[in-house]
Amino acid sequence: MRDHALEAIANARNLAQLKEVRLAHTGDRSPLALANREIGALPPSARADAGKRVGAARTEVAEALQQRQEELEAERDARVLVEESVDVTLPWGRRPQGARHPITTITERITDVFVAMGFEVAEGPEVEAEWYNFDALNIRPDHPSRTMQDSFYIAGGSEQASGMVLRTHTSPGQIRSLLQRELPVYVVVPGKTFRSDELDATHTPVFHQVEGLVVDEGITMAHLRGAIDAFVTEMFGADLRTRFRPSYFPFTEPSAEVDMQCFVCRGASVGDPTAACRTCSSEGWIEIGGCGVVNPRVLVACGVDTDRYSGWAFGLGVERTLMFAHGVEDMHDIVEGDVRFTQAFGMEI
Amino acid sequence: MRVPLSWLREYVDLPTEVTGRDLATTLIAAGLEVETVEELGRDLSGPLVVGEVRTVEELTGFKKPIRFCTVDVGRANGTGEPQEIVCGAVNFTEGDRVAVVLPGATLPGGFTVDARTTYGRTSAGMICSASELGLWEDHTGILVLNGLLDPVPEPGTEVAPLLGLRDDILDIAVTPDRGYALSMRGIAREAAVQYDVAFRDPAEVETKPDSAPGHPATIQDPSACDRFVLRGISGFDPGTPSPLWLRHRLSMAGMRSVSLAVDVTNYVMWELGQPLHAFDRDKLSGAITVRRAKSGEQLTTLDHVERELDPDDLVIADESGPVGLAGTMGGLYSEIDESSTELVLEAAHFSATGVARTARRHKLSSEAARRFERGVDRELPLVASSRASELLVSLGGGRVHGLTHAEAVPSAELAPPAEITLAEQYASRVAGVEYPRGRAAQRLRQIGCTVLEDGAQLRVTPPTWRGDLSDPNDLAEEVIRHEGYENLPSIPPRAPAGRGLTPAQRLRRSVARALAGDGLVEVLSYPFLGERELDALQLAEDDPRRGTLRLANPLNEDEPLLRTTLLPGLLRTLARNVGRGNTAPALFEVGSVYLPNDGAPPAPILPVDRKPTEVELAEIEAALPAQPRHVGAALAGDREPSGWWGPGRSAIWADAIEIARVVVRTANAEPVVRAAESLPWHPGRCAAVYVTLADGTESLVGHAGELHPRVVQAYGLPERTVALELDLDGIELAQGVVSAPQISTFPVATQDVALVVSAEIPVAEVENALIEGAGELLEELRLFDVYTGEQVGAGSKSVAYTLRFRAPDRTLTSEEITAARDGAVAVAAERFGATLRS
C-alpha cells in the first residue's frame, strides 16, 4: 500500500495528476484510510503494532506528497513565468504628452532667480495708460525716445485719443510698484509686451520681458552689477564675466547694455574660424539686456524722496533669451503654436 | 551715422596704427553703439594705376560701341610699353588720364582681372569706372581723372592711395540723447577723449562778417525757432561738378551726390551736425518768415509729395506761402536746379519737439529732422553757413554776399543748457566707486562743460551741443562712462525677506502644470482679431464679447480688435496644427482678455513733477479695461491614440468638461456643472461651470463642451472639436483652504443601487439627492452604468451607482448600511420619482 502510494506520487507529472494521486492515496476511500479504519477491528494485541505501521506509512505518504507538491509548483512557476513573458519595449503612448510653452517656463525660471534673492513678483495690465507707459518713465511727448518703441495705440471714441496703449515694455509695472508698495521696493516684473513690428525671424509684435527694480537707500551701480552677476551665475553658470556698455534709456541715467561672456565658448571662438560659435556668432559676448540707475525724474513722478532713495532697473527680452539659451533659430517657431516645437521643452526648462 | 576713419582723422590725432575695429571697440566702451565696421577696399590687391589713353580704335560690327585702346601705364606693367585694353565706355578721349587695373589685380568686391580675348582682341587689363573702384554708384562710363584731380597724376601712379580706395567706415547707431554724435565733430571729440589726443574743432572757424544785408527774414514764432541765418551767394556756377574727394566722402557717409550746392550742404551737415538748406533766390517771392502753417496751406516737398499742412507745422514761408517744412524737408518749387546761380543758404536753430511733431505727422524722416529732433548746437547756424558758403564759392565760384541773422528770445526748450549744481562726490555715489577728488570736474571739462568748483559742490554749465545734459545724473553718467563702466564693482543684492509668489501667481503655474500633465500643450497666441472671427464664433449681435477695444494702428487691417475671448486664438492655432498633419492636437492657453469700460473717459495724462493723487490714479484705473486672466483649451481628434493595444478614443464633450473640472479643482475649489446653451458651443453639449464662493453663492466661471458645428466649419476644424474657456480670476476667488479629512480604518461596506428616473434628469442632480439622503456614512459614490432602452421604457433611464459606506469609529452593522442606502434612494425617489430597478 505504502510503496504503491509512494510510486504514484513519484510518477505524478503535474499538479493535476498529483491532486488525483492525493485523492486516491490519502482520501477517505484510499487504502491507507481504510486500513486505518480497520485497525479498530483487529485483536487488541495486534492493534498497537498495526497502528504504528499504518501511522508511519501515512506520515511517509503525506511528506512525499508535500515534497512532490513543492517540486511541481516550482516547476510550474518557472514554466508559466517564461510563457507569460512580454516584449517590454512595446510603446505605451496611450496618454497624450502635454507641455508648457518654453516662454512661460523660462520666464518663471528667470523670475524665480530674483524671487530667491528676496524679490517679489509684480504685474500690471497689458492695456496700459500712456502716462504709466511713457510719461511717468520720463519718455516725454515728442521726444525721439517715444518713437524708439513703435507702439500700438488704443483707438478712442469719436476722434478722441484714448490715452491708452498696449504696453511697450513691462516698465509701467515698476511705476505701479513704486506707487503701491512701501519702500524699499525689490520687485521683478515679468509679462507680455507689444510693439508694432512685423513678425519675422527675429521680431514679433507680441513678446515678453522680465524687469527687475530696486529702490532702497544707498543703491549704486555696483549693486546693479552685483544683481546681474548673481542672475547670470544662476541662469548660465559660474565664472561668466559680464560687461556694461553705456547706453540710453529715458527711465535710467546712467544707462547700460549688459553683455555676458558666451556660456558656450567662453570667448574661445573669437578670431578662431575653426571654433566658430553659433550661440554668440563668435563674438564671445551675448547681449542679455539693458539696465541703469533709475532716473530721479521717475522717482519724483512716483513721490519717492530722491535725497534718501536711489535705485536700479534691469530688463531683458524673454524671446531673445530663449533663442540664444536654447538655440531657437526662428521666431516663427516660438509664436506659431506648433505642438512639435513646444513638446520638445516638456514641463520645465 | 557712417564715419569714414580717414575723414575723422582730420579732426583728431588718432595714433596711425589705430584701425576701424580698434576705434569701434573703444567707442562702444564709451557708449557709442558701433553696429558695423566696413573695411572699404579690403579685397583690393595688385596693380591699379593711373594710365594715359594714347590711341583709341573704334571697333565695328558689334551691338554696342567697343573701343580698342592703348594706354600708357608708365613702368607699372614692367615693360613701359602701352597696355592694350578693350573698353566698352565712350566717355573719354585720347590724352585722358584714367584708372587702369592690370592683369592679376583684384578690384573691390573680389573681382580679379586677367588678360583675355574679347571682341576679337586681347585685352590686358581694364579701364575702371567709379563703381568698379568702389567709389560711388556710377554707370555712365569710366572715371576720367583729369578734371577731378589737380594736379593730374602721372601714368603709373598707384590709384588706391590717390583716391582713398582703402578706408574703414564705422556705422554708429546714435541713441536719442546724443544728437551731437550725428556729426564728425561729435564723434571726433569722443574719440579724442578716449585716446587722450588732440581734437581740432571744425566749428572753430572764423565766421566771415558780412555787412551787406541778406535776403530779408523774420522769426514769427519764437517758440519754434530762435536763430535763423540766411547767406546769399551770387554768380555761382551751377555746372561745376563736385570734386572727387567730396563725392567720395559723401558716398562713404552713405549719401548720394546730387549737385555741388546740395553736396556741400550735406557735407557740412555731416561734418558739423548742422542741417542746411539751399534756396534758389530767383524762385523766392519776397521776405521769408519762420512761422506756423495756416490751415489749408499746402506744400509739395522735395520728395514730390503734396502735403496738407497742419497749423502746428513749422514752415519757412515767403510771401507766396510755405517754401519748406522747417528742419524737415525743403519745398520742391524753390529747390535749386542746374541753372541756379543766385543761392540763399539757410541755417537755423529749430525746436526739437516742433520738428519731431512735424516729421511724425508727415511720416517724413530726413537727415535734417533726425538731427533737429535730437537737438542741434545753437551756436552752429552762423558757423555752418559760413563754412558752407566759403566751400561753395571756393569750388563753384561766385561770391558770398548778404547775411541775415534773425534772432528771437529763446524759449526754455531752445535756450542753452542751464547750469547744474551737484556734489563733487555725486558721480561716486551713483557709481558706488570712490573717484579721486577733482576727477569729476576733469571729466566734465573734457566733454566741453564749464565747471566751477565751489567747495564740495560743482557748478557745471554743459556745452551748447549737449542739450541732453540737464540733471546731476546726466553728468554722473558722463563721468562714470569716461572712467569706464568696466571698472564698476559688483556688490551682491541685499533684498529684505520677500513673500514669494502670490496665491494668484501660484495658481496660474499650478493650472498650467495640471493641464500640461493632462496631455495639453500650451500656446501663446496673438490677442489680435477681426470681426470675421467673432462672426465665425456665431456670436449674436449683442453678445458682450463683440464689445472689443480697437487698435488705432493695427499691424493687419483685418485684425484691429483686441480679444475678449481666448477661443479665436486657440482655434486658429488648432487649425494650423491640423493643417500641418497633427491628428490629435490638444492645446491650452492662459492669458488676458480685454473688456472695455464702456463710456469711460480717456485715460488722463498726469503730471510727472510730483506723485499723482489717489483721485488722479483712480481716473486712470477707471479708463482702463478690465483684463481678467482666462484659461482656454481646445482639442480635436484622438484624446487617446490608437495603437497595438487597440483603437483610440476621440476627444468628446466630456473631455472638455473634465478639463474644466481639473482647472477648478487645481484651485482647491469644487466645480458645479450644469447644462447650458451658449455659443460658440453645441446647444445640447455645453456645460456652464460654476464655483462656490466663500459666502456660499455660486459664480459662473465659464463654459465647456463640444463646439457648434457651424463654428467648427467656420474655423476649418475637425468635426466634433471640443473647447472650454474659464475665468481664472473668477476661479481664484473660490480658492479654498483644505482641511484634512478624517481617515477611518474601519471596514468599508459596499452597496449597489440602480435607479430608474426620467431621462431629462441630470445625473448630477440624482447624485446630489443620493449624497444628501445617504448621510454622513457615505464615503464615496460612483456611477458605473447609465442605461436607456426597452428594459426601462421610453423617456426613462437607469443609473447604477456603487455606494461605499464607512464610519469613523466602528464597523457598520448591516442594519445601518441598509438604512443609509434606503435613505439615499428615498430622497432620489421623493425628488425625481426614482424607482429601484428590479
Tally Cβ neighbours within 10 Å of residue B547: 12
Region of residue A63 (left: phi > 0; alpha: psi -120 to 50; beta: else): alpha
Q: Give the chain B residue nearest A128 (alpha carbons).
A: B624
* Cα–Cα dist B582/A62, whole Å: 67
Q: Give the chain B residue nearest A310 (alpha carbons).
A: B430
Q: Give the chain B residue nearest A302 (alpha carbons).
A: B611
Class for domain B48-165, per CATH?
mainly beta
Q: How far is A324 from chain B (nearest CA, A)?
A: 19
If DSSP states are collapsed to H, E and C, what string results for B749-805?
Answer: EEEEEEEEEECCCCHHHHHHHHHHHHHHHEEEEEEEEEECCCCCCCCEEEEEEEEEE
CA neighbours closer than 13 Å in the CB half-sphere of residue B164: 19
Every domain of chain B with CATH number 3.30.930.10 lies at 503-593+628-733
Length of chain A: 349
Mean pLDDT by 10 residues, chain A (349 residues): 83 88 84 80 82 85 89 86 88 90 97 95 97 95 73 85 94 96 96 95 96 96 96 93 93 96 91 88 92 97 96 96 95 97 94
The set of cell numbers assigned to A254 is 546712467
Integer angstrom CA distances of residue B656 from B508, B682, B712: 19, 12, 15
Q: Do A120 and B481 touch (CB under 8 A)?
A: no
Q: Which of B490, B488, B356, B481 is nearest to B33 (CA)?
A: B481
The segments of chain B whose pLDDT lies below 50 read none
Q: How far is B257 from chain A (nearest CA, A)?
A: 28
pLDDT value, residue B560: 96
B131-170 residues touching A, CB cutoff 8 A = none
Residue-wise pLDDT tens digits, B507-518: 999 999 999 999
Q: With contacts defined as CB-CB under 8 Å, which chain A residues touch B609?
A: 300-301
Is residue B468 marked as binding? yes
Superfamily of domain B503-593+628-733, CATH level 4: Bira Bifunctional Protein; Domain 2 (3.30.930.10)
Region of residue B396 (left: phi > 0; alpha: psi -120 to 50; beta: else): alpha
- Residues sharing a CB contact under 8 Å with residue A37, sequence separation 6 or more, in sequence order: none
Is residue B478 marked as binding? yes
Q: Do B493 and A223 touch (CB under 8 A)?
A: yes
Show the DSSP H helices in B95-183 as ranges. 159-163
Q: Which of A339, A97, A337, A101 is nearest to B640 (CA)?
A: A97
Tally Cβ neighbours within 10 Å of residue B320: 12
* Cα–Cα dist B236/B234, whole Å: 6
B627-666 residues touching A, CB cutoff 8 A = 627, 638-641, 643-645
Is residue B776 marked as binding? no
B762: cis peptide before it, omega within 30°? no
Element (H, E) at B579: helix B567-579
* Cα–Cα dist A51/A5, whole Å: 18
Element (H, E) at B269: helix B260-272
pTM of the model: 0.87
* Cα–Cα dist B780/A3, whole Å: 61
Q: Do A96 and B356 touch (CB under 8 A)?
A: no
Show the DSSP H helices in B121-238 as ranges. 159-163, 184-195
* Cα–Cα dist A299/B745, whole Å: 62
The conformation of residue B538, written as its DSSP 8-state character, comes to T
Assess contact for B215 and B404: CB atoms under 8 A.
yes
The set of cell numbers assigned to B135 is 567709389
- Residues sharing a CB contact under 8 Å with residue B81, sequence separation 6 or more, in sequence order: none
The set of cell numbers assigned to B520 is 495639453
Under CATH, which number does the domain B749-836 receive?
3.30.70.380
pLDDT value, residue A76: 84
Pick the CATH number of B2-42+168-195 from 3.30.56.10, 3.40.109.10, 2.40.50.140, 3.40.50.800: 3.30.56.10
Q: Do A144 and B356 touch (CB under 8 A)?
A: yes
pLDDT value, residue B58: 86
Residue-wise pLDDT tens digits, B244-287: 899 999 999 999 999 999 999 999 999 999 999 999 999 999 99
Domain B217-407 matching CATH 3.30.390.50: the answer reads no
Assess contact for A274 and A299: CB atoms under 8 A.
no
This model of the complex carries an ipTM of 0.88
Amino acid at B753: V
- Residues sharing a CB contact under 8 Å with residue B455, sequence separation 6 or more, in sequence order: none
Instruction: Provide the CA A205 distance to its chain's centre, in angstroms.
Output: 27
B471 touches chain A (CB under 8 A): yes
Q: Which of B724, B726, B725, B720 is nearest to B578 (CA)?
A: B720
Q: Do B523 and A125 touch (CB under 8 A)?
A: no
Under CATH, which number does the domain B420-487 receive?
3.30.56.10
Assess contact for B693 and B699: CB atoms under 8 A.
yes
Q: Which of B262, B260, B208 is nearest to B402 (CA)?
A: B208
Amino acid at A342: T
Residue-wise pLDDT tens digits, B553-604: 999 999 999 999 999 999 999 999 999 999 999 999 999 999 998 888 999 9
Residue-wise pLDDT tens digits, B98-133: 998 888 888 887 888 888 888 888 888 889 988 888
Q: How far is A283 from chain B (nearest CA, A)?
A: 12
Assess contact for B166 and B44: CB atoms under 8 A.
yes
If DSSP states are collapsed to H, E and C, what string results for chain A?
Answer: CHHHHHHHHHHCCCHHHHHHHHHHHHCCCCHHHHHHHHHHHCCHHHHHHHHHHHHHHHHHHHHHHHHHHHHHHHHHHHHHHHHCCCCCCCCCCCCCCCECCHHHHHHHHHHHHHHHCCCEECCCCCEEEHHHHCHHHCCCCCCHHHHHCCCEEECCCCCCCCCEEECCCCCHHHHHHHHHCCCCEEEEEEEEEECCCCCCCCCCCEEEEEEEEEEEECCCHHHHHHHHHHHHHHHHCCCCCEEEEEEEECCEEEEEEEEEECCCCCCCCCCCHHHCCCCCCCCCEEEEEEEEEECHHHHHHCCCCCCCEEEEEEEEEHHHHHHHHHCCCCHHHHHCCCHHHHHCCCCCC
Assess contact for B587 and A147: CB atoms under 8 A.
no
What are the beta bridge partners of residue A285? A261
pLDDT value, residue A149: 66
Q: Do A223 and B432 touch (CB under 8 A)?
A: yes
Residue-wise pLDDT tens digits, B35-86: 999 998 888 888 889 998 998 888 888 888 889 898 898 888 888 888 888 8
pLDDT value, residue B817: 95
pLDDT value, residue A43: 83
Show the DSSP H helices in B298-351 as ranges. none
Every domain of chain B with CATH number 3.30.56.10 lies at 2-42+168-195, 420-487
If DSSP states are collapsed to H, E and C, what string results for B34-98?
Answer: EEEEEEECCCCECCEEEEEEEEEEEECCCCCCEEEEEEECCCCCCCCCCEEEEECCCCCCCCCEE
The conformation of residue B144, written as its DSSP 8-state character, comes to B
The set of cell numbers assigned to B831 is 425628488
Number of CB pairs, chain A paired with chain B, less than 8 A apart: 302
